[in-house]
Amino acid sequence: MKSFPRIVNCACYAAVAAVAVYLTAHYSAYVYKFHALSMFEGSWDWFAAHFDRPAALLTWCGRLFTQICCRPALAIVLLMLLLAATVWLIRRYIVCDKRFGALSVFPATLMLLFVMRLGYNVYTLKSDALIFTQPLGLLCALCLFRLLISSRGGIFKPLFVAVIGFPLSGFYSLLALLMFSFRTLVRGGDNKRFAAAAVSLASAAAVPYLWYLAAFNGANQAYLWLYGLPYPDLSGLWGVAWPLVAALALPLLLCLIPFRNKEHSSRWLSAAVAVFSAAVAIPALYILPCRDSLLHRQLKAERCIEAGDWDGVLKQTALSDVTNDILVAYRNIALFRKGQLVEKCCSYSFDCVPVYVNGNQMVSSRLAGPTIFFHSGLVNFASRWAFELNLGNAYALERIKYLAKCALVNGEYGLASKYIDAVGRNSFQHSWARRYRALLSNPESISDDPELAPILKINRYSQKFWLASDKAANNVPAFYLYMDTACDTPEFLEWAMATAMMTKTQNHFEDLYSAYAAAFPDMPESVRQARLIFAVVSEDSQRIDAVREDLGDSVKIDPDDRLNYAHYYYQKRYAEPF
């Protein structure tokens, strides 16, 4: 029976290794996205600008490590090494009782679950470098804890650790102090333990405030104790956050397991803590096999778009009947760029299923705005959305690259140079920067460039549309997405309705139609036809009847004709392949 704990431990470690293999196999596009949505300039400017807030060094390290995600397999290996170190530290310095050794894998596993189960939230991160900052933070907390429990230093050692650790690692230094307090209180045998625990708790409470008074002008006092945690991203997202909360709570719980104490009563306490810890951790594991296939297809499609692999985009977007508006948009772009949009936009399996888009999805759909607009040739909109998203979320390599490419297409070479330099300061992006720097002040090369030449060509077709800020521009990545309110001109409304048809967002089409009818009652026959066509495409007989009744007998179409309104619209403007 003595070998039983060893077997359990080995099984746990094997399970973690299996998780690594699983992640490598299935999450590479997802891990890559962390890199694309992060930003690391390799200069001290960022560091200098953020040093007026706690945990600047931790975040800086997280940003640095996140760049490795452009090689997903390497990043996963690094992540697993960090987590293995976490397991080892917990096993060595917290769960010293071999019978409970298996518990040491739980915090690391939960941390892994947290970063891998962010799902669509990966697009909206405001905290930089989440994939590595939190595992690094936990590791940092364990190292500080190790320092605290070492025999050297008096009872004021926690104060010293807090003063040094808080500016560097924020919350994670406080976690180390809390762990130390817990461990000290249950350790027994030391008359000074209560004093040490009290100093530790007092340091955790007071030192952040003292640092705030002394230096941290850039910190919000209300969140002072949380710096280092991704609280801006997780407020209101407890479903996503709770593996992280559990990962951080478990080391605290495990510290309650007495340190090499042989007393019978302590064994019961240890067992109780172990059971409770497992009860906290194990439920989180159920989300391990859950995988949002739409998100992962979308991420793979984005990598194909980045590579100009339009067949790859079509392959990803045609993998199942279930879809979302972004995948529809990506497919339309691919068809458009292959010169097949007009013939095939309504020819795939889910073409007759209109997508109803709710508010939450609209928000996430905007995140694809730069990609959609740029590859549709609307560079000003792409540029604007890349900029807005950089400010609303975090500065991202992907979006800086779009800004650079938009500036090149627009002939703004000074601006393009600035963005290219910013990307080029990242050690992993030298070749990207070299490729685009060669296009600076060189319009001939741009018009010959396989990626930018088509964009340049499509951009020339763009009309001078107006988007009012409080209406369309806020709610519309318009070209392939949707809009929910009226705009200024009939031309824009027609355009928006065509895009609503393309994305099959029936509810938005109806909203637009109503706005059009109210603002411009003398609408062309083709717009009425479009409404009828869209109703017919929905294959909803009630809806078709209602629309027919509303439009009257004068509006006629051939329901079997696939040359619908979108066909009419795009044939007029974009008939040739790009």
Partner 1 sequence: MPSLSDIKSLLSVFASVAVISCTSGIPDAALQDGSLPLVSPEYAGTTIPCNIAPLTFTVVDDAEACITRFSSPSGSGFSVRGKDVTPKKAQWRKLMAESEDADVTVTVYEKKSGKWTGKQPFRISVSSDPIDAYISYRLIEPTYEISGDMAICQRRLSDYREKEIYSNKMDFDGTSRQCINCHSYQAYGTSNMQFHVRQRDGGTIIFRDGKAQKVNLKAEGMLSAGVYPSWHPSEPLIAYSLNSTKQYFFAEGKQAAEVIDSFSDVVLYDPDRQAVSIVSNDPDDLESFPYWAPDGKSLYYCCASTDSVARAAKTNAISNAYDQVRYNIIKRSFDTAAKTFGPAETVLDAASEGMSATLPRPSPVEPYLMFTMAPFGNFHIWHKDSDLYLMDLRTGEYRSLDALNSSDVESYHSWSSNGRWIIFSSRRDDGRYTRFYIAYFSRDGIAHKPFILPQADPGHDRRLFKSYNIPEFMTEPVPYTPKQILKTVKGDAVKAHM
Residues forming the site for partner 1 (CB under 8 A): 41, 43, 45, 52-53, 126, 217-220, 222-223, 231-232, 235, 378-381, 383-384, 387-392, 395, 410-412, 414-415, 417-418, 421-422, 425, 427-428, 430, 459, 462-470, 473-474, 488-489
Here the contacts of 441-445 (C-beta below 8 Å, separation 24 or greater) are 441/413, 443/411
Give the shortest CB-82-to-partner 1 separation in angstroms: 20
Beta carbon nearer to partner 1, 179 or 483: 483
Distance of closest approach, residue 427 Cβ to partner 1, in angstroms? 6
Contact 194, 154 (CB under 8 A): no
Give whichever of 32 and 381 is closer to partner 1, judged by the CB atom. 381
Rounded to the nearest whole angstrom, what is the least distance from the CB of residue 78 to partner 1 in the complex?
14
CA-nearest of 557, 153, 567 to 344 is 567
Q: Pseudo-torsion of CA 119, 120, 126, 130, nearest 10°? A: 20
Instruction: Tell me whether residue 132 or residue 373 sits nearer to partner 1 (CB atom).
Output: 373
**Cα separation of 35 and 30, whole Å?**
9
Smallest distance, partner 1 to C-beta of residue 211, A: 13
Contacts for 139 with CB less than 8 Å, ≥ 6 apart: 82, 85, 86, 89
CB of 387 to partner 1, least distance (A): 7
**What is the end-to-end Cα distance of the chain in Å, rounded?**
71
- DSSP-based three-state secondary structure for 444: helix
Closer of 22 and 51 to partner 1 (Cβ): 51
Bridge partners of residue 405, in order along the sequence: none
Q: DSSP letter for 355, please.
A: P
Pick the closer one to partner 1 by CB: 255 or 333. Answer: 333
CB of 467 to partner 1, least distance (A): 5
375/384 with CB nearer partner 1:
384
- Minimum CB distance to partner 1 smaller for 139 or for 333: 333
Residue 199 CB-half CA count within 13 A: 17
> Minimum distance from CB of 474 to partner 1 (Å)?
7
For partner 1, the closer of residues 470 and 576 by Cβ is 470
- The whole-angstrom separation of Cα 148 and Cα 51 is 25
Angle between helices 130-149 and 157-169 (to 10 degrees): 170
Tokens of 264: 């019978």
Cβ of residue 6: shortest distance to partner 1, in angstroms? 41
Q: How far is the CB of 442 from partner 1 (least distance, A)?
A: 17
Residue 17 or 438 with smaller CB distance to partner 1 = 438
- The amino acid at residue 352 is C
Give the C-alpha separation, 94 to 10, whole Å.
18
Closest to 88 measured CA to CA, from 64, 114, 108: 108
Task: Write the burial class of residue 578 (CB in 10 Å: 0-12 exposed, 13-18 middle, 19+ buried).
Answer: middle
> From the CB of 111, what's the least distance to partner 1, in Å?
21
The Cα–Cα gap between 424 and 435 comes to: 10
By C-beta, is 280 or 472 nearer to partner 1? 472
